[in-house]
């Protein structure tokens, strides 16, 4: 059964806005603006009200996590994933389920990227599916993919 009238926030951290320009051999050639357009259209088709926010600032991401009054957060915190205990604490502190998303497979990259200090406090982590990870997260939220966490 699909869920409707869900409100989600997609938060993108440092350098995600440069996708398409930055290391296209790693992150692909599709630019951020095209991604935003596609993800909002997809969310609308799933009847998910979706805000999409980018910030290079750790504090802004924390403020958005703490102040969000919706159903789900999809979070790609970029390099903050690997060392921002402040973002991890924010995710841990809120009752909103958070899905961690990464364009690349963080487990097959440099050693420092293999660790996510945020993952233990998220309901799921999608890594290595490119932009598809965001679409998968929306499918998960909508009920198109079976939910696997407690109290469902």
Which pLDDT tens digit goes with each residue over 86-120? Answer: 999 999 999 999 999 998 877 766 676 668 999 99
Residue 70 pLDDT more than 50?
yes
Tokens at 64, concatenated: 């958005």
Q: How many CB atoms lie within 10 A of CB 120?
A: 11
Mean pLDDT check: name the lowest of 16-25, 35-44, 117-126, 142-151: 142-151
Q: What average pLDDT does range 142-146 have in this prediction? A: 69
Distance CA 103, CA 148 (A): 22
| Domain 6-142: top CATH class | alpha beta
Higher pLDDT, 22 or 102: 102
Q: What is the pLDDT of residue 106?
A: 79
Q: What is the pLDDT of residue 4?
A: 57
Helices (DSSP H) in the chain: which residue ranges? 24-27, 32-45, 58-67, 85-93, 132-142
Residues serving a catalytic function are: 27, 102
Distance CA 25, CA 19 (A): 11
Distance CA 64, CA 129 (A): 25
């Amino acid at each position: 059964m699909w869920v409707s009238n869900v409100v989600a926030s997609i938060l993108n951290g440092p350098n995600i806005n440069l996708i398409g320009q930055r290391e296209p051999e790693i992150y692909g050639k599709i630019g951020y603006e095209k991604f935003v357009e596609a993800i909002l259209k997809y969310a609308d088709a799933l009847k998910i009200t979706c805000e999409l926010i980018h910030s290079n600032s750790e504090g802004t991401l924390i403020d958005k996590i703490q102040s969000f009054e919706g159903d789900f957060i999809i979070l790609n915190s970029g390099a903050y994933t690997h060392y921002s205990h402040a973002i991890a604490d924010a995710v841990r502190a809120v009752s909103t389920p958070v899905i961690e998303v990464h364009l690349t497979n963080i487990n097959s990259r440099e050693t420092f990227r293999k660790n996510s200090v945020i993952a233990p406090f998220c309901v799921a982590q999608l890594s290595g599916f490119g932009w598809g990870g965001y679409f998968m997260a929306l499918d998960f939220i909508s009920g198109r993919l079976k939910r696997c966490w407690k109290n469902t």
